[in-house]
Structure 1
Amino acid sequence: MEPLGRKQNVVNVADLTRWNFTQLLADEEDKPEQENGTKSPFPWRSDLNSKLILWKGDIFALQVHAMVHPTNETINSKYAMTARLLQEAGPEMLSEINSTVRGFKTGDARLTKGHQLLARHVVHTVGPRFNAKYSTAAEGALFSCYRNVLQLANENSIKTIAFCPIHSSQRGYPIEQGAHIAIRTVRRFLEKFGPNFETIIFACKENEMMETYQRLMPLYFPRNWKEEEEAKEYLPSDIGNEDGEPVIAERKIRIVDKPTFAAFKNLGREFDETVDLNKEFRSPDGPAVGCHEFAVMKEDIDKQRLCTLQAKPSSEQLEKDRARLYDRFLLRAKQEDLTDIAQLQCIYQSGVDRHGRPVIVFIGRNLPANCIDMERMLLYVIQMMDPVADNHYTVVYLHSLTTADNLPATSFMKYAYNILHDKYKKNLSSFYIVHPNIWFKISTWFFTTFTASEIKHKVHHLHGTEYLYAYINTDQFDVPQWIFEYDVKVNGPRYYAPPEDTIDEL
């Protein structure tokens, strides 16, 4: 029997397999000689691999010096992990957060005690929201999260630290892009401060996240020379700077140390040596004006990028990229087990409308947006609606008794809308929103005006379920009983009035 007060299911770091033992080492003698210019930017280093652990499980079960806690700027219980942290760490954690963690911004990291947790310390950090238009800013912020967490751990002599993914799909961050930055930043930090750490753990709770890390880890932490050679072909074009930070070529400063003419160097003269420039330029062997890169006039880089983005081939390429991205999501939707999402009953097909078009029902209250992986929710939407969207269809969204906890972030809605195939927008006949409140009407107007203008004229607001029967037969409309009870409560047992389909009257 376990002693009273002792936590169960505790995972000791010493029992976990180190990264360098997850694959047999290749024979060093068989390693071929590298040609000039082909050296890997992330060479095989067994000393770094021995400090790394990739583990699938609950980060709260790890007995470590510090665990990483991704959260939002206010550190409230809106996020499932934050709610659990505050519950398991006890009231002392909330008191310390309120007293010491102030002015928390995206990319920052703050250290508190672990209190009743297994970890002695907790490093809190705010991960970025992802927007495709500002992906560069999101990448830089995510790098800052990992870098600041590691820097804080190094300054406080924390030897063992466990990371769960800071790049949250709840904030719309693509899993693979975030994993590249996470692994790369840890690699570069260990190259400089490796002796100060004993163990760094990547703790992945979800299968998809674990599979992504297993696939990308060998690129930055090859376990033998064969993996090192193979990794060079699969590394992304941007592997960051010496710290792993994403590099933006346009922001590089185009100034060299002591810009001098090449001809002067050939003459063996120092920069501070007195030179008669008039004589040098008149000389047939002297330097030509503007021969040095520093003196070469270059067109505005931002203008070049703008012209490139506005060019027709770029827009066609964008459409191709979107189609490929949707195909990848569709493939994942067909392969993954999404029964847990289906059991929520927040989206399903319910008969046909009066024109024989399939009706898709969304129930807002059944969507725990802050407690589930919204990317998996998007996969389920694609899995169910892809065959339906090949022809005309109707959507009914019931906003009845929906709260802020049931609403996905606006950034995620934009992300999802941009991923969905054009056939979803083209074949959508009508989108009926039932029981909207004033704020949801305003939000819908902004979204359909600035993001989804293609479907704005198809969106209609209805104040009761009775209005739907003009478009859908009663025997084809299957929704929970509590929605009809709510309908009677807000509208009365008998009502009918022309539906209000716009918010122009606001």
Structure 2
Amino acid sequence: MATRLKVVDVSTLERWGGDSVPAGNHHGSPFPYNPKLNQKLILWRGDICDLNVGAIVCTTNERLTDFSGVARRIHSRAGRQLTHECRATEGCHTGDAIVTKGYHLPAPYVIHTVGPRFSVKYLTAAENALHSCYRRSLEQTVEIKKRSMAFCVINTESKGYPREQACHVAVRTIRRFLEKYIEKIDTVVLAMDNDIDLAIYNAVMPLYFPRDPNEEKKAVKKLPKDIGNALGGTTIKEREVRIRHSLPTSKPNSLSEVRYVASRIGPRTMGGGGPEVEVKDDGPLIDTRLATRQEDPDIARQRDEVKITEKERARLLEESTYKDYLLRAKRADLSDLEKYRFIYPNGKDQKGRPIIVFVASHLPAQNVDMDRVLLYIIKVMDPLVTDAYNLIYLHTNIAPANKPSYSWMRKCYYILNRKYKKNIKNLYLVHPTWWVKALFFFVRPFISSKFYRKIHYVYYLMDMYETFDPKNLKIPNHVIKYDQITNVAYYNERYASKRASRSARREEL
């Protein structure tokens, strides 16, 4: 018996909505409250493949052969006919969109679009390409005469586009298009397949689609500096046509016109062979007030880009990526990871610097999604690393199941931004094994010598207690027991040495 596939009718979904207050620009917002536009918009958490709309958008590559993420689900539901039709096309350029049939999907059409790769160096190009993806998809919907359509999130993690920045481009583009073609489209669904994107869109959409005058008033203060042009695309000021002076309003007199023509046709004789009369030119033929010479904006841009070093570009990309992860960490539900206690704050040292403890043997590296682990680490550490801090890494009794992959550790190093490396005062590696030493030996070329000097190998807990108050340190019991059993000979020798020194001092007294 065939499985009945789920179909969601958009008429059953809740609209973005708004109060019954009349539309109008109540607070000088570039995106004023407009209930008619709001009623055309739906923010929905679910699978875009289930939607019964005129067309759904599929993010793909230029050859239309991407079968990952939402594209995989769309092709799987639509059937082989969709794959065959995609292969028969000539492909699709980045920022463009093409239409195919939907076949076994509830939607009769699929709009395929190619999102850009994100690059700080070519930020404007990336934003305009993403804007074009959304606008071309809307235009294709109008061209095939469908009044409803659904967007997936076009920017993908594989292409590195920060989620929140992409959301601003998407929502403002949709807003500007609906303003211009309000009678052409009845419904636009923004289909989110995860809670992170849903939270971001819930936070950004009120800025461009305020649901009442009060929300509009708040949005004015929160809107970014670049709110796009009349179409929602990124504004490039250097390419705007500027006329510094207005045209002369007075009508030229007839003598000026005669002189102008005379200067062009040269001296002429009066009719009947009379004497030659030459009309003098009073000045330049072109009014210099009509135009001023401007530097080529492309040359100016290239010159300015030279001033930005590769190091600066890398820093900007690093900050953008970290902000994306931090936003995800704040909005994600990571309560299930708290029970493992693999990282936690442990008060402050004598100078008031925070102490963070990482217990490697508690890390469930093989049992959980390590990307969520990274988000949890960011959530715990971010408020503590704004200034100098100490990190204690307990490598005691680590098992193979606790060891993360090298690629994940490398990812952590590059995503945890500059403040983590700059502000760390000391990194204590407690009970290090050959694996830890080998790891730091191989990564030494990739880390700065300044950071390497902050690393301290701790073989005996007693040595660390000379720096931190043992009463305030929350060290797991299995770490303390391991230290006592493994280092019993050392501690006995140390205890005997101290007793001998104390006895010697008594004798001297």
Please, what TM-score do these two structures have when normalized by structure 2? Answer: 0.62
Q: Which residue of 2 aligns with 1:354?
A: none
Q: Deviations over 1:263-282 (max 9, x none)?
A: 74445589999388962479
Residues 113 and 133 in structure 2, CA contact (< 8 A), matched pair in contact too: yes
C-alpha displacement of 1:111: 2.1
From the superposition, tell whether residues 134 and 154 of structure 1 become closer, same or farther in structure 2 (CA, over 3 Å).
Answer: same
Equivalents in 1 of 2:379, 2:327: separation in Å? Answer: 9
Distance in 2 between the 1:74 and 1:126 partners? Answer: 9
State the superposition RMSD in angstroms. Answer: 5.4
In the aligned structure 2, how far is the partner of 1:48 from the partner of 1:112? 28
Aligned CA distance change for structure 1 residues 366 and 129 (closer, same or farther; 3 Å)? farther
Cα deviations across residues 274-315 of structure 1 (Å, max 9, x unaligned)?
388962479xxx97xx656624779974377459757xxx98
Pick from 13, 16, 31 the counterpart of residue 13 of structure 2: 16
Tell me whether 299-308 or 109-118 shows the greater mean CA deviation. Answer: 299-308
Asked if 1:279 is matched to 2:282, the reply is: yes
1:49 — aligned with what? 38
**Residues 225 and 342 of structure 1, relative CA distance in 2, 3 Å threshold:** closer
Cα pair distance change 1:337/1:358, threshold 3 Å: closer
Pair 170,342 (structure 1): closer, same or farther in 2 beyond 3 Å: farther
Task: Quote the Cα distance in structure 2 between the aligned partners of 1:165 and 1:67.
Answer: 11
Structure 2 CA distance for aligned equivalents of residues 269 and 365 of structure 1: 89
Q: How do residues 481-496 of structure 1 correspond to structure 2 at under 5 angstroms?
A: none
Q: Distance in 2 between matches of 1:221 and 1:333?
A: 26
- Given candidates 131, 143, 157, the residue that maps to 2:119 is 131
* Partner in structure 1 of residue 438 of structure 2: none
**2:163, 2:324 within 8 Å by CA — same for their partners in 1?**
no
Q: CA deviation at 1:102?
A: 4.0
The DSSP-based 3-state class of the residue aligned with 1:140 is helix
Is the partner of 2:176 in helix, strand or coil? helix
| Distance (Å, rounded) in 2 between the aligned partners of 1:93 and 1:414 | 42
Partner in structure 1 of residue 497 of structure 2: none
**Distance in 2 between the 1:407 and 1:419 partners?**
19
Pairwise CA distance, 1:416: 2.2
Measured after TM superposition, the shift of residue 245 of structure 1 is: 0.8
Please give the alpha-carbon distance, in whole angstroms, between the structure 2 residues aligned to 1:185 and 1:334.
27
Match of 1:218 in 2: 206
Q: Which residue of 2 aligns with 1:382?
A: 378
C-alpha deviation, 1:422, in angstroms = 2.9
TM-aligned CA distance change 1:131 to 1:263, over 3 Å: closer
Match of 1:164 in 2: 152
Give SS of 2:292's match: helix
Q: CA deviation at 1:176?
A: 1.7
Mapped to 2, the partners of 1:70 and 1:167 lie a distance apart of 8
Deviation at 1:183, TM superposition (A): 0.9
Q: 1:456 Cα shift?
A: 10
- SS of 2:181's equivalent in the other structure is helix
Cα deviation digits, residues 306-330 of structure 1 (max 9, x gap): 59757xxx98xx89x95x9968965
Q: Are positions 1:79 and 2:82 aligned together?
A: no
Q: In the aligned structure 2, how far is the partner of 1:237 from the partner of 1:194?
A: 26
CA offsets, 1:428-447, max 9 Å, x none? 6899998xxxxxxx9x99xx
Q: TM-score, normalised by structure 1?
A: 0.62
CA distance in 2, matches of 1:180, 1:63: 26
Structure 1: distance between partners of 2:450 and 2:64: 36
- Whether the aligned pair in 1 keeps the contact of 2:18 and 2:35 (CA below 8 Å) is no
Q: Is the 8 A contact 1:51 1:198 kept in 2?
A: yes
d(CA) in 2 for partners of 1:72 and 1:395? 45
For residue 294 of structure 1, the aligned residue among 292, 295, 298 is 292
Quote the offset at 1:210 in angstroms. 2.1
- Structure 1 residue ranges without an equivalent (≥5): 351-356, 435-441, 459-469, 477-506
Quote how far apart the aligned CAs of 1:49 are.
Answer: 2.4
Query: Secondary structure at 1:279's aligned position in 2?
Result: coil
1:333 to 297, 304, 329: 329
Q: Is the 8 A contact 1:106 1:141 kept in 2?
A: yes
Q: What amino acid sits opposite 1:81 in the alignment?
A: V
What is the rounded CA distance, in whole Å, between the counterparts of 1:398 and 1:75 in structure 2? 44
Deviation at 1:181, TM superposition (A): 0.7
Look up the match of 2:142: 154
Alignment check: 8 A CA contact 1:363 1:398 kept? no
Secondary structure (helix, strand or coil) at the match of 2:137 reads helix
The answer as to whether partners of 1:76 and 1:83 remain within 8 angstroms in 2 is no
Who is 1:64 aligned against?
53
CA drift at 1:201: 0.6
Amino acid paired to 1:45 = N
- Amino acid paired to 2:146: I
Per-residue deviation at 1:94? 2.4
User: Partners in 1 of 2:434 and 2:146 — Cα distance?
Assistant: 52
Q: Name the amino acid aligned to 1:336.
A: A
SS in 2 for 1:41: coil
Structural mapping, 1:301-450, within 5 Å: 301-302=300-301, 305=304, 322=319, 333=329, 336-338=332-334, 360=360, 378-383=374-379, 390-392=389-391, 416-418=415-417, 421-423=420-422
Answer yes or no: is the 8 Å Cα contact 1:127–1:166 preserved in 2.
yes
Once the two structures are TM-superposed, the CA of residue 420 in structure 1 deviates from its matched residue by 6.4
Q: Tell me how far 1:247 sits from its aligned partner.
A: 1.1
Q: Would you say the 8 A contact 1:132–1:415 is kept in 2? A: no
Native 8 Å contact 1:325 1:419 kept in 2: no
Find the aligned partners of 1:52 and 1:399 in 2 and give their Cα distance. Answer: 50
Question: Which secondary structure state, in structure 2, belongs to the residue aligned with residue 195 of structure 1?
Answer: coil
CA distance in 2, matches of 1:201, 1:122: 14
- Aligned twin of 1:187: 175
**Whole-angstrom CA distance in 1 between matches of 2:149 and 2:92:** 21
Shift of 1:255: 5.9
Partner-residue secondary structure (3-state), 1:391? strand
Label 1:144 to 1:101 Cα distance change in 2 as closer, same or farther (>3 A).
same
Q: Is the 8 A contact 2:207 2:216 kept in 1?
A: yes
Structure 1 Cα separation of the partners of residues 163 and 227 of structure 2: 17
Structure 1 position 244, deviation (Å): 0.9
The structure with more radius of gyration? 2
Alignment of 1:443-462 (within 5 A): none
Match of 1:485 in 2: none
Partner SS for 1:196: coil
Shift of 1:415: 7.0
* Pairing partner for 1:106 from 78, 85, 94: 94
Give the C-alpha shift of residue 163 in structure 1: 0.9
Deviation at 1:423, TM superposition (A): 4.2
Are 1:26 and 2:26 an aligned pair? no
Name 1:235's counterpart in structure 2. 223
2:158 counterpart of 1:173: no
Once residues 142 and 390 of structure 2 are traced to their aligned partners in structure 1, the CA distance between those partners, rounded to angstroms, is: 57
